[in-house]
Amino acid sequence: MRNNLGRAGLIILIFLNLNLFASTYQWSVQADKTEAMTNEAIYLKYICEYSDAAGIYVIEFNPVVDNDQYRVEILSETERIEDGKKINIFEFVAFVKHSGVHKFVFNTTMKKTNKDSIQNTVLGRDNADYEEFSVRFIKQEAVVVNVKQSSTDLVGEFVSNVKKDKEKLKAYEPYHLEIDIEGIGNFKALKPVEFKIDGVKIFSQKVIENVTLTKDGYKGSWSQKFAFVGEKDFIIPEVKIEYFDLKEQIIKEMFIDAINVEVTKAYKKEELLDAEEKAFEFSYDFVYYVFTFIAGFLFAKINFKRVRKINSADAIFEAKIEAAKSLDELMVILALKDAKKYEDFIRKVETKEIKSLKDAKKILINKQFNNVI
């Protein structure tokens, strides 16, 4: 009995002293612009200010969406107490996809804890017949933005930079190129760069995006790396990337000049042979090779337990070979590892002396194995 009286007294204290259910609140909306270009960042800020600490209120507000008209992303969600009053702040960034007058009208759900919920929590009763919250739906004030059509999807302020290799190299030696773009805007509109060059194998890494959402859009960097492998001179074509500069309100271009790559030709097999075949001459070298072959045959018949000694670099290299999905990919792995060392092997693949990826891997793994025993 005394226990129940104590709990009842606690409820009375909650109702009378804290006056929880007298809380009031007011919403306000802010936008950083009333005019924008398509794909330009539009900053939206929603603030809910209470008359007190408002411990009984919970807000559900999530207008994040990506539809045909616009994309909305959340920037931040904060809650703080100032002078004993609670303030909830929701910040979003919107990107409109089409021109015209656009209205952002979002709904918010205000959930208020009921008295019955507090009573049952304090008294420890398990009553399934009561509702924990009373719910109120609020339509936020409309934000109207006049959006103009940009001639390009990429909008913001950007600077491009190119990192490139020396422009003279040997046949089958890879030429490396990296395109970096830094700035602020809708980086999501940047598409991967593609090259097509006759007689040149081109390998491209996935685009690396390192950006952070801000009030003005995404801020950070975008980069893409390439490797070009050829046996003769080639030209990497110029690249033009258009964007609408928000600061100067004009179309600009990020321009990457064409690159002339000079390639030293590799010796062909027929160039390394004498013009006429020489008559057979007895050589002790021949005897040596015969005995070597016989010794190797006998050695193969004996069941020796061989221990393979490898270091981590060998293991990683072998794993890359095993993982290669095509001869082209395998050639780049070898070229990047040691173009000079594997030049003869690469040439055999290019001249179709080695046609099978399986055979190529087997030859390389055996060679790698023999080198580390």
Give the per-residue pLDDT at 244.
96
Q: Please provide the average confidence, as pLDDT, over all residues in the chain.
A: 81
295: left (phi over 0), alpha (psi -120 to 50) or beta: alpha
Alpha-carbon gap, residue 226 to 205, rounded angstroms = 6
Phi, psi of 76 (to 5 degrees): -165, 160
For residues 303 and 326, the model is more confident at 326
Domains of the chain from N-terminus onward = 2-148 (2.60.40), 155-264 (2.60.40), 269-372 (no CATH)
Bigger pLDDT: 330 or 78?
78
Tens-place pLDDT, residues 99-117? 999 999 999 999 988 755 5
pLDDT digits (tens, 9 = 90+) for 186-236: 998 999 999 999 999 999 999 999 999 999 999 999 999 999 999 899 999
pLDDT of residue 295: 46
Q: Above 90 in pLDDT, residue 94?
A: yes
Kindly report which listed range (10-19, 242-251, 259-268, 343-352) carries the lowest average pLDDT score. 10-19
What whole-number distance in Å separates Cα of residue 72 and Cα of residue 53?
Answer: 30
pLDDT of residue 77: 96
CB burial class (10 A; 0-12, 13-18, 19+) of residue 236? buried
Angle at 119 between CA 116 and CA 124, to 5 degrees: 120
Longest Cα separation, the chain: 120
Is the predicted pLDDT of residue 179 greater than 80, yes or no?
A: yes
| pLDDT of amino acid 288 | 41
Average pLDDT value for residue range 4-8 = 52
| pLDDT for res 332 | 78
